[in-house]
Structures are given as structure tokens and as C-alpha cells.
Amino acid sequence: MSTTQAGMTQTGTATSLLRFATAGSVDDGKSTLVGRLLHDSKSVLADQLEAVEHASRRRGQEAPDLALLTDGLRAEREQGITIDVAYRYFATARRRFILADTPGHVQYTRNMVTGASTAELAVVLVDARNGVVEQTRRHAAVAALLRVPHVVLAVNKMDLVGYAEPVFAAIAEEFTAYAASLGVKDVVAVPISALAGDNVVEPSAAMDWYGGPTLLEHLETVPVGTDPSAEPARFPVQYVIRPQSEEFHDYRGYAGQLASGVLRVGDAVTVLPSGHTTTVAAIDALGESTELAWAPQSVTVRLADDIDISRGDLIAAGPLPVPTKDVRATVCHLNERPLHVGAKVLLKHTTRTVRALVKEISYRIDIDSLEQRSGAEGLSVNDIGHVVLRTAEPLALDDYTDNRRTGSFILIDPSDGTTLTAGMAGEAFDTVSTNGAPDAPEEEDWV
């Protein structure tokens, strides 16, 4: 196969799609790593590379600085703004990739929560010279909180520690144990040098002691998605399709995207929150009739009985969530305006937006120590905490642990529409140490 622009086979063979996020600061070499992935997978084209070479020369660097491929934040800093996530695209013969590239340091938690929310894999970067540091633990905690199924520890700058196996092994062991304690089920560690290109795309000649995949090989082969047949069907209704034409006089279809599971014609389903039951009469896959559909397909479902269903309802099968107006959730606060008890907000869950009241902020979670700090008066930007909300109408929420799509929501400021908070129904981690220590005063380590 000849190498092509996107590395894709020339016939454009069908490939799967992997969404992943990178976590790490500039100091860890994240920009260089991302640049290396794009460059070595032949996703950087001649005119882009030419621009990087120009810019590098102007800065007095001899070799093209691959970090410049993703560098776009200086002007943002000049203007005092933060654009949270930049998305990058590349492909190999086996897979298409969507990379959520989150900047480090400033607004770190918020940015990584955003990037990780859609990711199926997170690459956590550490500097081999420093090993697992506070920020590394924070990255692991956010990946665990957002239930990112796969985590890769990229131990970078191996060239600066003489490509020494013991250095890598110690870091990998420490990190893997920590991630496992947070409930992360799949951790793979790869020793790399983003600068020299070791084990990013090409296997390293300097580390013959390492027998595992390169970072890209792992990205190409890691399982994508979950098994729809092992999950209960969840189908949030987005829109009711009623052509009201002569040909489709009685057509009434419920349009949506399967959040999880499989739906088959003939399946018994329940409509929530009303609780009405019926069966699936037909499934239209974007204009064509089909017998079954699975997550994350967008389809239109027709039901056997004439039930009053509209946008915001959930068509579900399998173990059902109990609709509730009392929502307990772990949240990450995203906005500069703090979230206080008593705040009246809007809550958007799947396709349903309802009014909600912040009844209680149960505790704040110290993302570094994972301790619960009770007595928090409010949540500030980047804070992670646990809240109790009361909604005006019942919601069919799954636990976020079981379903990232039907277990998540956002809080919105009704006055101007600002997205305030990201919410995940249920408890945060599999293991959380508790203590009753009062909340610490303002911390400065976010800036």
C-alpha cells in the first residue's frame, strides 16, 4: 500500500473511528507528541510543514519544531482568553482519529473534563525525569471521573534518562496502581521520546527491552466502543417526524440517536418518564427500513401503539432507570461564576431541558488527594464536587458509571444561556477516601 495523505488505503477502505484526548502540559512535551503523531502518520501536508519550517527558522531553530503544528494559544493568552479544546484529525490505513487536544496549566480541570467527555481513550503524558507528579495524578483522576475506558501512560523524554528500562518500569508501576485504585480498568504504558520519535509511530531502536506496541499501534488496535448487545437500549427522542403527506399519511416516527444498546423490530419498550409500554413496530435507518439498530446509530423508530411522545422522552428497554426529580451527581464546575446552593438553573439531560434548583453541595473533592471536603459554600471554576439537585420535572437518568450518555447532563444559566457545570449522575469514584475536614481556603494551584 502506498503511503497517502491521510495514510488511508487508496480505495478508502472502511475504518473505525477512535476519539481520544491528550493530557499533559507543554513541559511534558505534549505539543511535540501531538505534532509527532500528525507528522509521522503523514497527516501534515507540505504547505503546513513549510509554514512550520519557516516559523522554526525565524525563531532560530534548525529542525522544524513540531510543537508549532498545534501551537495556537499565544494570541489567546495575550487576550486573556482560553479556548478549551482544539480538535485534530488524522488517519491511518486502519483507523480515523479525532484527537481532543487540551491545553495544560490554566483551567486545566475544566479543559480536560471537556476533552475527556467524548473520548474513549486518554493519553496521559509524563516526563521520565520527573515521574508521576501531582498533575499526573490529577490527569488520571479526571480520566477516571469521566469514565474514559482506556488510559495510556506515555512516559516521554526517555532519551533524557538514557532509555533506561528501570526508570520506565517504576513510573509505569506507580501510575498503573494509582489508576487501578480509581477504577480505571485498562492502562497501557509506553516508553517514548516524542522529540526523537521513539515508539510514537516507529518502534524505537534504542529500547529493544520494550516489547509492547508503539503509541500509534496501540491507538490503532485498542477496542473502540462498548458492546451494544451487552447494554440496555436507550433512545432519547429528539424530534417527531410527521410528513403529513398523502404517501405517508399516518407516518409518525421518533427520531433520535441510540445512546446505548440495540433495538429490534418487535422489542418491548417503555417510554419514560410516562411509563407507557409498547413494542417497536419499525425502524427506519435514515430513509431505509431495517430490522435492528444499535448505538450510536441515528435512526427513526415507529411504535405499535399511539402514545403521546415528544422530544425529551426516553424510549428504553432492559433494566429501566427510575425517573426522579431528586438528582445526586458529581459535577465539575466550568464557569467563572461560582455555583451556590439555592441557584436556579436549567438542566439539559439528553434531549430534555428542565428547571432545576441546587439544593445542596454535599462536598468538594480535592482532585489531588481525592479527599472529600464538606462544608463547601459553593463550587468555583474547575472545582469537582457532589451536589443534590431538585428538578421541576422527573428525569430518566442512568448512573454515569453505567451509561456516559444517559448519565450526563449540563447546567445552564437561564439568564444568558451560559454553560455552567458538567454533571455525572451518581458517585465519583469507585474508591474515595472520606474525611470531615472543612474546606480549605482558596487554593492557588490552578493558575
Partner 1 sequence: MTVTTQRLFRAEDTPFALSHLDALEAESVHIFREVAGEFERPVILFSGGKDSIVMLHLALKAFAPAPVPFALLHVDTGHNFPEVLAYRDRAVAKHNLRLHVAAVQDYIDRGVLRERPDGLRNPLQTVPLLDGIESNKFDAVFGGGRRDEEKARAKERVFSLRDEFGAWDPRRQRPELWSLYNGRHAVGEHVRVFPLSNWTELDVWQYIEREGIELPEIYYAHHREVFKRDGMWLTAGEWGGPKENEPVETRLVRYRTVGDMSCTGAVDSDADTIEAVITEIAASRLTERGATRADDKMSEAAMEDRKREGYF
State in angstroms the smallest separation of the CB of 378 from partner 1.
19
372, exposed or middle or buried, with CB in 10 Å at 0-12, 13-18, 19+? buried
State in angstroms the smallest separation of the CB of 438 from partner 1.
29
Residue choice 129, 133, 162, 173 for contact with partner 1 (CB under 8 A): 173
Looking at the Cβ atoms of 210 and 363, the one nearer to partner 1 is 210
Number of residues in contact with partner 1 under rule CB under 8 A = 106
Residue choice 160, 251, 318, 432 for contact with partner 1 (CB under 8 A): 251
Per CB under 8 A, does 91 bind partner 1? Answer: yes
Looking at the Cβ atoms of 285 and 371, the one nearer to partner 1 is 285
Count, in order, helices (H) and strands (E) of the chain: 7, 25
Per CB under 8 A, does 63 bind partner 1? Answer: no
H-helix or E-strand containing 143? helix 134-145
Task: Extract the C-alpha cell encoding 227.
Answer: 458492546
Looking at the Cβ atoms of 122 and 422, the one nearer to partner 1 is 422
Residue choice 105, 134, 202, 223 for contact with partner 1 (CB under 8 A): 223
Contacts of 98 (CB under 8 A, 6+ apart): 17, 18, 19, 20, 87, 88, 89
Per CB under 8 A, does 249 bind partner 1? Answer: no
How many whole angstroms separate alpha carbon 78 and alpha carbon 71? Answer: 14
Contacts of 215 (CB under 8 A, 6+ apart): 37, 123, 152, 154, 190, 192, 199, 200, 201
Q: Are 269 and 315 in contact (CB under 8 A)?
A: yes
* Contact letters for partner 1, residues 129-148 (x by CB under 8 A): --------------------
Per CB under 8 A, does 176 bind partner 1? Answer: yes
Touching partner 1, residues 409-438 (CB under 8 A): 409-410, 412, 416-419, 422
Per CB under 8 A, does 164 bind partner 1? Answer: no
Looking at the Cβ atoms of 102 and 135, the one nearer to partner 1 is 102
Say how many Å lie between the first and final Cα of the chain, rounded: 48
Touching partner 1, residues 310-349 (CB under 8 A): 311, 334, 346, 348
* Contact letters for partner 1, residues 277-296 (x by CB under 8 A): -------x-xx------x-x
Q: Is the dihedral of CA 64, 69, 70, 71 positive or negative?
A: positive
State in angstroms the smallest separation of the CB of 214 from partner 1.
15
For residue 406, what are the CA distances in angstroms to 198, 261, 263, 352? 40, 12, 16, 11
* Contact letters for partner 1, residues 8-47 (x by CB under 8 A): x-x-x-xxxx---------------------------xxx
H-helix or E-strand containing 38? helix 30-40
Residue (of 392, 375, 381, 372) closest to 341 by Cα position: 375
Looking at the Cβ atoms of 17 and 440, the one nearer to partner 1 is 17
Per CB under 8 A, does 118 bind partner 1? Answer: yes
User: Which region, judged by CB under 8 A, interacts with partner 1, from 67-75, 121-129, 159-167, 198-206?
Assistant: 67-75
State in angstroms the smallest separation of the CB of 59 from partner 1.
11
CA–CA–CA angle 413, 416, 419 (5° rounding): 45
Per CB under 8 A, does 392 bind partner 1? Answer: no
Q: Is the dihedral of CA 161, 163, 166, 170 positive or negative?
A: positive
Per CB under 8 A, does 152 bind partner 1? Answer: no
